[in-house]
Chains A and B, each alone.
Chain A
Amino acid sequence: MTEQVDPAPGVARPERRARPAAVSLAGAPALRLIPKTDVPQSAKDFKSDQEVRWCPGCGDYAILAAVQGFMPQLGLKRENIVFISGIGCAARFPYYMNTYGMHSIHGRAPAIATGLASTRPDLSVWVVTGDGDALSIGGNHLIHALRRNVNLKILLFNNRIYGLTKGQYSPTSEVGKLTKSTPFGSLDTPFNPVSVALGAEASFVARTIDSDRQHLTSVLQAAATHPGTSLVEIYQNCNIFNDNAFEPLKDSTSKDEATIRLEHGKPIRFGIGGHRGVIRDAAGHLKVVDVDQVGQDALLVHDAHDEDPSTAFALSRLSHPETLDNTPIGVFRDVRRPSYESAMSAQIDTAIARRGLGDLQGLLAGKDTWIVR
């Protein structure tokens, strides 16, 4: 994979610093082209002067705090970080980040970010979106960004409801959902965002929960250091229109039983005391079993780097869409393939190497000319 990229002429290229910060992910190959800071950063540096205006108790606050707290770990120059959002409650996010940011239009953030990331490999580009923004109106842009593997970090806040428009069902709402627009229950089968992303050739797919700061941060670390598109689904509570939607994964009495914490290279084991696990049965299906029944060795070992996405997809199907029983969180898939903008830059480099830097006068003249005297 060629990543030897020069920003195109005219785009100011900030000088590159060699020294990464002491506690930093800055050494990650995926961040190689992004200028590093030599000034210590804290979460405070990433807070803008804007008053945060989500409903009190909204899960977005926790995500914002986690992201602001995580940013210093990247060790990147703040001016080389961009947050781009669409429309929805989550889409206010960029206003609160003291980085470059754009609050765009409904569903289009991945497309706008694709144009930015394709032309500026020296930027760390983040997309903040919601279940309606990413999976309804912007579904097309999301799947195409994923298959292209543009260097974007997409944070999909999934609260299974439309919040900003005051409570209609969303493409991730469970069937039969009673909302203002579905007084007799919704009819649509919901999307499972992780399944969608895996089906769309995503190279990095993860899921985490707004209230689990530690897990959220670990997933952000993995996403940020992945070269190409990272899709992170964040279960986020909307306490106004869909309160406690993820309660089984949050309540201290149920969460350990309901949540499968995926860790690369480790047997998939969960439940209180790890008494439950995932195996592949004789028919090839994934199945949740009692570890005592099958033994530790029979458990499936999670391989996030598996080129074949079918096991990751099967894992994404374990969770019950209504009870959320057996919901895996963590990194489902993390595989390497060339990122879109590096391939695009490589084509340009090759064209220049073969044909020389473009000669405009020669282009205008072409081959068939004549002279009038």
Chain B
Amino acid sequence: MTRQTAAKPVQTLTDVVIRFAGDSGDGMQLTGDRFTVETAAFGNSLSTLPDFPAEIRAPAGTLPGVSAFQLHFADHSVVTPGDSPTVLVAMNPAALKANIGDLPRGGIVIVDTDEFTKRNLAKVGYPVSPVEDGSLAEYQVHAVQISSMTIEAVSKIGLSRKDAERSKNMFALGLLSWLYHRPLEGTRQFLETKFAGKREILRANLVALEAGWSFGETTEGFAVHYEVKPAALPAGRYRTIRGNQALAYGLVAASERSGLPLFLGSYPITPASDILHELSALKNFGVRTFQAEDEIAGVAAALGASYGGSLGVTTTSGPGIALKAETIGLAVALELPLVVVDVQRGGPSTGLPTKTEQADLLQVMFGRNGEAPVPVIAARSASDCFDIALEAVRIATTYRTPVFLLSDGYLANGSEPWLIPSVESLPDLRVSFATQTNHSLDDAAGGSDFWPYLRDPQTLARPWAIPGTPGLEHRIGGIEKKDGSGVISYDPANHDHMVRTRAGKVAGIDVPPLEVDDPNGDADVLVLGWGSSFGPITGAVRNLRAEGVRVAQAHLRHLNPMPANTEEVLRAYRRVVLPEMNLGQLALLIRGLFLVDVIGVNQVRGLPFRVAELMTAVRSVIDGTEQRTVIGTAGRYGTFVTRGTNGLPSIEVGGDSDEPFASDLPAAGRPGGDGPPDDAGSPSTTGTSSPNGAHR
């Protein structure tokens, strides 16, 4: 703590969710970041969710220009950024309007009333200030003149009014830091580094930070302040880390542990670009980064680097994967290591570039011509992005294959505390290149030559013979080749053999078993997940157990191939629930591979699941009243109600059922799948005589 503030009573809380919201030029992301670091340093467990607009600078004061940062911190282990804020900091009317709907009754609102001018209110359609008309009566509102107090505080520094006002985010940070007992020292040091050489700006920021703190301490507006005790975390040295940063560091670590120089071929794309930025700054680790002319060249150059014995990596998001598909197919045929990172975002097409989604799973599984199997793994948290990068490299180099590493916008930008690993504890990823001929010519002279597709009998990996190795000169290509010798072959039997061999190689990848979290072993419902929904699922499962609900959890990091015990795990439970931020992509795979009738919980709002929503969904599965999303059959698009009888689900479909057909098509005037089934328009109420009618 920077100072004693014993003058006011302190109330102890276990859990706080703060959302900082302001104009995209107000510095909300920075404010959130600093509060995060202060909170981490204080010892709380935490999780964050930055939520910013795609526009770099939307018109000031408008709803599209609102940028927000949500932080959840607690005295116990935190797994999500929180369903809804308990505290909203709104720097202008647009920020208030865009976010107030998420704040539960009784929540704290801190607004910068200086920004609640007639003009700004009009921009977002407020006829009168909601701070004054009583419409915020159900919240604890703190109307603070943040802008004018900031300008007043820094007036002696001699900055222009505009420059002075820019420090208002530090005033807000100071005030919140006082309110929640956060230390300021780290932020002071941060500002000194950030504004080194800009003395006035530095002073203004420091003064505003202090002013915000002092305001909280002295004003009567804040009667109490709060404390959230440090969480009991495993011992060790920690830092906070974002997913993209963790992923970049994981790649550097994999380079060091494998002895392979890292080459990144990439094209800028949201939300993956930060990996390119991070790695571009790490040239003293021997990292080569190549900002290519397009997505295709990014992956092509990475593949060329792999061919030469580097660790070839390309990073992108869904649209980029679509462009890289052909080259990834070539990597499958060449059987060379390659890591392809897909930081998923809302699709299709440009979709929601700054929002999150998990809807690229089937694209990476199948989005290539021919039978082109590629291993797929997915990170489950921001810090897991580090470990999963090492795992991607293990698979790529051991099996000489391209590997898809899935992350998403939520993990990419979200941060959490990370127990810093020791380098020695990281997996040993050393590889060896081929240096000698491997095939006897059976001639009198006892000669030998090199067969580029003579496989390791264990892994089915082919030798990695890099240019520069004498005596192993060979040619490889995308045309089908004879197994072993690698010469071009159009032989039908050989092609069948090669297709099956490539499939078998990927299917045979050694992956750890699927772990099940079922503390008492008495659950009959399993919640299965993959990727970034790990946090919300874990939160939901925890809360349900606290209510006495028996529920198990399992999370897939390896999606292709899945762990050998996957089917066994799934079959051990009466019902399996699978939340995904898509319309049921893993569910389709699970059903196809294992004939297990998983129940999807599907949401594509560009935001992570809320814990409460997942709890509701799991409860409905337990009592047999869940909704199901069904796609792919003509006339059967929609959300269906399952009638559970003796634990066996039945799906009612079609217009002749007396069960309502809950179409969620826009044509029926309903938002996708959000409403309860029984108030949905059935075919009769929408005036259509057949289920197909709902499509029009």
Contacts and interface: CB of A to CB of B under 8 A. Distances in A.
Interface of A: 8-14, 35, 48, 50, 77-82, 84, 94-95, 97-105, 108, 111-120, 122-123, 140-141, 144, 344, 347-348, 350-352, 354-358, 360-361, 363-366, 368-373
B247 to A, nearest CB: 13
Nearest to B36: A368
B423 A361 contact: yes
B487 A105 contact: no
B135 interface: no
Contacts of A11: 261, 308-310, 466, 468
Nearest to B301: A115
Interface in B364-388: none
Contact of B478 (A103, A360, A361): A103
B473 interface: yes
B284 A348 contact: yes
A368 B290 contact: no
Interface in B418-434: 420-423, 433
Given A103-B479, A371-B236, A114 B290 contact: yes
A114 B304 contact: yes
A123 B467 contact: yes
Contact of A360 (B186, B265, B423, B475): B423
Nearest to A366: B239
Given A111-B292, A119-B263, A373-B235, A12 B433 contact: yes
Binding site secondary structure of chain A: mixed
B284 A111 contact: no
Contacts of B473: 78-79, 98-100
21 contacts: A10-B310, A12-B468, A77-B468, A78-B470, A82-B467, A95-B477, A102-B477, A105-B329, A111-B297, A112-B303, A115-B290, A118-B305, A119-B261, A352-B284, A354-B284, A361-B422, A363-B249, A363-B285, A368-B37, A368-B240, A373-B235
Contacts of A48: 475
Nearest to B431: A10
A79 B467 contact: yes
B422 to A, nearest CB: 7
B183 to A, nearest CB: 10
A358 to B, nearest CB: 3
Contact of B300 (A101, A115, A122, A369): A115
B304 A113 contact: yes
Contacts of B478: 103-105
Binding site secondary structure of chain B: mixed
Interface stretch (B54-62, B123-131, B251-259): B251-259
Interface of B: 37, 40-41, 43, 186, 230, 233-240, 249, 252-253, 256, 258-261, 263, 265, 282-288, 290, 292-294, 296-297, 300-310, 312, 326-327, 329-330, 334, 420-423, 433, 435, 466-479, 487-488
Nearest to A373: B235
A350 B286 CA distance: 11
Contacts of B488: 50, 95
A139 B310 CA distance: 26
A140 B294 contact: yes
B237 A347 contact: no
Contacts of B468: 11-14, 35, 77, 79-80, 120, 122-123
Max chain B C-beta neighbours (<10 A), residue from A84, A95, A350:
A95
Max chain A C-beta neighbours (<10 A), residue from B240, B308, B330, B470:
B308
Nearest to B241: A366
A202 to B, nearest CB: 15
Nearest to B37: A368
Contact of A108 (B252, B261, B296, B305): B296
B304 to A, nearest CB: 3
Contacts of A141: 293, 296-297, 300
B300 A108 contact: yes
Nearest to B233: A372
A8 B310 contact: yes
A198 B433 CA distance: 40
Nearest to B294: A140
B274 to A, nearest CB: 15
Contact of A144 (B260, B297, B469): B297
By Cβ-Cβ distance, the 4 closest A-B pairs, closest first, are: A115-B304, A103-B477, A8-B261, A115-B301
Nearest to A35: B468
A9 B288 contact: no
B303 A79 contact: no
B308 A120 contact: yes
A245 B527 CA distance: 68
A118 B263 contact: yes
Given A104-B300, A112-B303, A351-B283, 8 more contacts: A79-B473, A84-B304, A100-B474, A102-B475, A103-B475, A120-B467, A144-B297, A344-B288
A144 B290 CA distance: 12
A115 B472 contact: no
B305 A368 contact: no
Contacts of A122: 468
A98 B472 CA distance: 10
Given A115-B302, A115-B303, A363-B252, A108 B40 contact: no
Contact of A115 (B284, B305, B329): B305
A10 B258 contact: yes
A102 B284 contact: no
A243 B436 CA distance: 45
A105 B327 contact: yes
B259 A10 contact: yes
A297 to B, nearest CB: 45
B240 A116 contact: no
B297 A368 contact: no
A348 B286 contact: yes
A11 B260 CA distance: 7
A105 B310 CA distance: 20
A372 B467 contact: no
Given A102-B334, A140-B294, A370-B41, A9 B261 contact: yes
Contact of B308 (A108, A123, A368): A123
Contacts of B263: 115, 118-119
A358 B307 contact: no
A344 B283 CA distance: 9
A97 B474 CA distance: 9
Contacts of A354: 284
Contacts of B297: 108, 111, 114, 140-141, 144
Nearest to B477: A103
A98 to B, nearest CB: 6
A13 B282 CA distance: 23
Contacts of A102: 307, 334, 475-477
Given A9-B259, A368-B41, A368-B240, A101 B475 contact: yes
Contacts of A10: 258-261, 309-310
Contacts of A356: 284
Nearest to B309: A11
Max chain A C-beta neighbours (<10 A), residue from B263, B300, B334, B474:
B300
A100 B238 contact: no
Contacts of B303: 112, 115
A118 B300 CA distance: 12
Given A8-B288, A105-B330, A365-B237, A119 B310 contact: yes
Contacts of B474: 100-101
A121 to B, nearest CB: 10
Contacts of B286: 8-9, 348, 352, 358
